[in-house]
Amino acid sequence: MRLDKFLSECGFGTRSEIKKLIRTDRVSVVGAKSKPTADMRIDENTAEVFVDGEPVTYKKYIYLMLNKPNGYLSATYDKDKAVVLDLVPPQYRHFDLFPVGRLDIDTVGLIVLTNDGALSHRLLSPRHHIPKTYYAEVSGKLGDSEVSAFAEGMDLGDFIAQPSEMTIVSSDDDKSAAEVTIYEGKFHQIKRMFEKTGHTVTYLKRTAMNRLSLDESLSEGELRELTDRELELLIYET
């Protein structure tokens, strides 16, 4: 890989800005037999590159866990509304990020941002049946009939929701809470399933995708990189 391309993909600016960095001797390459130039060829996986004395680590792909807040679209751009990429700090903006799947604008919780299209395809492909777990607060009292209805699958008119798992967290006459795991992700699916059983969702939060759980230490709107172990949990058996 060319040195200027390497630095560009690491977020050091435009090609012209990077050429200026190199020209003003702010870039060094350990073991290079000549002074660094923009077209110098390096191995991006093994080269030891420094900018202003600080080491540069090359990453082809990036994986971010975001605790999505209410009011943000799960999209890369919208001319009228805020999108999840608006929450990405500057050090990650040079990556061509996109959300893996979507959450409704008023749904909060776990969403993964990446530039890895192959991983996104694996996680979203219907044939893999990736579980997605949500915490829901709803109107009215939940009981065994709702648990059974979710477990049996549900005809929602335009599609038939596959069997899902519901665990009741609390149940009172006025409001209840439950944890729900689904294996698909149709538009407004969980809200529509509860509506089918006579309940209105008042709060919805995704807490897990596959075996990856939301880091509850992240405040809404905050994000961080996945650890290697968390990435393994995300792609487990896909």
Q: Both tokens of residue 27?
A: 């870039």
Residue 107 burial (CB count, 10 A): 22
Distance CA 18, CA 2 (A): 12
Residues composing the chain: 238
**C-alpha 30: how far from its chain's center?**
35
Active-site residue identified among 104, 106, 116, 158: 104
Residue 122 burial (CB count, 10 A): 16
> Is the torsion defined by CA of 151, 152, 154, 160 positive or negative?
positive
Q: Which residues of 26-52 are buried (b: 16+ CB within 10 A; e: fewer)?
A: ebebeeeeeebebebebebeebebebe
Distance CA 137, CA 176 (A): 6
Active site residue 4: no
Enumerate the active-site residues.
104
